[in-house]
Chains A and B, each alone.
Chain A
């Protein structure tokens, strides 16, 4: 399990650069990110090296932020690697809300961040099926 920081962004020029600048100036490193967008607003989702501090810094800078629990899964970096994981999740009836891939990879694996409906059930399923997911500490230190 890992903590993801989500930031509400109005669809206005300069909002995304502002968030990343605030984090950069505070020495926070972004490990992975994704942006969900609608016509009026977007949500920036990031995995950072220090989520607690990033949350506080963004709050102090008057951003609307929240913390969300996600799972980072190691997926074989080869054709069909993601499909294999998703099939197993589907068999276990795990509902995925969204997912995005990691920027950095470790060795021969790709990392994919999953937000699922029932995170405890997901963890149990992954353990049972032998799907590797990395713990919080490992993730932030990548």
Chain B
């Protein structure tokens, strides 16, 4: 088992909590003093910084949401003057005003440190050749991984996203050992490899660190079997810092949240009550060491549960379960919550079915309709209409028992569902609600 910073990653809980409390208090004082929006919210809730005496007092503080970042666009939540901000990242803003995040020199150092831990946890070393196919630019994925990879002194190929054939050529020619990208892009790369006549044994690829979108255990199996690698899940979001907030270790039993820098809670997304350890709900994160953009109780919209038991890897940091889905990716069909990841799990359990699918939600009259488009794989293709219809019926049946809502299954041609080089688009909602 290798660690980047054993002392921090395996810190005894008591010592860790002392550090957390000290940092939390400091953060709350800073936002109250320097960020008017936080002061206003805390005043409204009748909370003063000195009311935070224990870690449990965190629950007294108001939540921060994506809307708060938008309302204070672009730099309103920054706690440092711009002269101290050395980097700005931003979301794409496809669903409204982009959210903007800033970093001080020390923030960048911490982020690099977190990514160094993450890469080490997934088995990367200074001897690794890391091909970083996360997009470079305003998106935090590219530069976040990049700085961490340089920190551990690995050789980085900053290939960024796109141009898949070239990615594979680089992988082969430069002897890439670790690939970082979204899980859906990894599978797409495999398809292109097949077209190019390249098999996994032709490559030196050993591991992949995949994130930026929820993916199921079945999808992990699929990637591991096809690419013949170990696939690790990494978690992060720009509002908190970017990739590296949490990472899986070799046991692949949940992702360790870097608790010396972040406090994690799980809440009921409706009642907003903090849930007990082990209960499933929305992840809420508080940053306790960030300078430029400290964030108090950020509602991530990601659904997971927490486990504080000490992991077999020796790390003491709390583990979050692989993210099941995002509360905003979730589609509610006839009152039933459906996550794309559930559909993915069902499909991957049916032999020969490809994990390429698209959910189309529509409303006919007053009734929601769910259509799931599934690609027919070459192996499954049968000359007989009857067999294809049987397959459709099997998928529909499995889908209904897993989702609790019936779906119309539409078999489509291989490679007809759009492949993504970044985050995959899994849902099209045509309802005008």
Q: Interface on A for B, CB 8 Å cutoff?
A: 4, 6, 8-10, 36-38, 40-41, 43, 45, 62-66, 68, 97-98, 115
Contact = CB atoms under 8 A, between A and B. Distances in A.
A6 B383 contact: yes
A8 B411 CA distance: 10
B384 interface: yes
B385 A8 contact: no
A37 B381 CA distance: 15
Q: How large is the interface on B (under 10, 10 to 19, 20 to 34, 35 or more residues)?
A: 10 to 19
Nearest to B408: A40
Contacts of B381: 6, 8, 64-66
A43 B410 CA distance: 15
Contacts of A98: 384
Contacts of A38: 385, 388-389
Nearest to A59: B378
B416 interface: yes
By CB atoms of chain B within 10 A, which of A37, A45, A66, A115 has the most?
A66
Contacts of A43: 383-385, 388
B415 interface: yes
Q: Which of B378, B383, B411 has the most CB of A within 10 A?
A: B383
B66 to A, nearest CB: 38
Interface string B323-344: 0000000000000000000000
A10 B376 CA distance: 10
Contact of B411 (A6, A37, A40, A97): A40
B414 interface: yes
B384 A8 contact: no
Contact of B383 (A9, A62, A68): A68
A70 to B, nearest CB: 9
B178 to A, nearest CB: 31
Interface string B343-387: 000000000000000000000000000000000101001111100
A5 B77 CA distance: 64
Given A36-B385, A64-B381, A8 B376 contact: yes
A10 B413 contact: yes
Nearest to B389: A38
A62 B378 CA distance: 10
Contacts of A97: 384
B411 A45 contact: no
B33 interface: no
Nearest to A4: B383
B412 interface: yes
A10 B383 contact: no
A41 B413 CA distance: 9
Contacts of A36: 385
9 contacts: A37-B385, A38-B388, A62-B415, A64-B376, A64-B378, A64-B381, A64-B414, A97-B384, A98-B384
Contacts of B392: 40
Given A41-B411, A41-B412, A43-B384, 4 more contacts: A6-B381, A37-B385, A40-B411, A68-B383
A67 to B, nearest CB: 9
B411 A66 contact: no
Nearest to B379: A66
B358 to A, nearest CB: 13
A97 B386 CA distance: 10
Contacts of B414: 62, 64
Contacts of B411: 40-41
Given A40-B410, A66-B381, A66-B383, A10 B388 contact: no
Nearest to B385: A36
Nearest to A42: B385
